[in-house]
Amino acid sequence: MVIAIIAILAAMLLPALASAKRKAKMVQCLNNMHQVAVACNIYSGDSRDYYPVWYDTTNPTGHPLNQLKGEHYARYITGPNSGPANTRIPQDEGNSLGFQFQNLGHVYAAKLLGDGRALFDPSFSSKNGLSLDQYSVPSPLSSDGPNSPAPQSPGGLTRSTILFNPRVVDPAGYNTLRVYQKSSQAGGHKLFGMDYLESQATGGMPFNADSFAHYPSKGWVVLFTDGAAQFVKSVAAYNIATASSFVTAESAASCVQYDNIFNDLETGL
């Protein structure tokens, strides 16, 4: 009888404990986003008003300054395709290890985010290719290994779970120049970052604990240009992200899909 009572109580408590754990991770994610906002504003003050940029010095004609050429370029901390695998990322823009800093990598290199943990949402499953676990060998912040499940990863890359400053001028016309290149351009309450999302190879983003940061909640933590961070549920954005037609690619169609998600999250529809 005693064992039966204990089992019943445990069954009642476990969901509550799991919910409390999810809420704690969400609070940490919100705090991380706030840290990123503060760091970006400090960085822009020291960088002629520019936010951290995307600029591939190895291919400047194909990937010019702040031309994202597809949403996935907004997720790199360092890269692209550079640096040794399973190596501690130096906090030094002038490093000799082959890493090329991009986007929030510049803030990390400016020593505005400590060891870089704030760039990773703790709500992402350790099985997800972009979780902090993939970038903690030998210790955070490190490049991923050759067998990492991160998408398109040969090893030696570092990415973030933050889709950073992804708005572009004209997604339908495939003009992928960033809208908010400088802090002076980022007035109001506009989407400036969010939990990373991408389509799966089979088409669409499966709604499960390994793909969604805050599963089973159907929403994302969103950072706004005024520095606010909040968890936003949007039925419209969720429907796009989980549809089989949702793609992650360097294409106008992909840009439009992501832009629709950003619009929905800004309005909360």
Q: What is the pLDDT of residue 12?
A: 59
Q: What is the pLDDT of residue 18?
A: 61
Count helices and strands (H / E) in the chain: 4, 8
Read off the tokens for 73. 């370029």
- Cα distances (Å, whole numbers) of residue 41 to 51, 89, 186: 7, 23, 11
Read off the tokens for 63. 């990937």
Q: What is the pLDDT of residue 248?
A: 85
Average pLDDT per block of 10 residues along the chain, 269 residues long: 60 61 91 96 96 85 85 77 84 83 93 94 89 91 80 74 95 94 94 90 82 93 96 96 89 92 92
Task: State how far the Cα of 127 lies from the Cα of 129, in Å rounded to an integer.
Answer: 6
Task: State how far the Cα of 161 lies from the Cα of 32, in Å rounded to an integer.
Answer: 11
Read off the tokens for 187. 């007035």
- Domain ranges in the chain are 21-267
Q: What is the pLDDT of residue 221?
A: 97
Q: What is the pLDDT of residue 15?
A: 61
- The single-letter DSSP state of residue 118 is G
Q: Which residues, at least 6 apart from 24, have a Cβ–Cβ distance to it below 8 Å?
A: none
Q: Could you tell me which of 181, 140, 182, 183 has the C-alpha nearest to residue 158? A: 140
Question: Which helix (H) or strand (E) is 7 found in, with range?
Answer: helix 2-45
Task: State how far the Cα of 27 lies from the Cα of 126, in Å rounded to an integer.
Answer: 18
Task: State how far the Cα of 41 lies from the Cα of 53, in Å rounded to an integer.
Answer: 13
Chain mean position to CA 39: 16
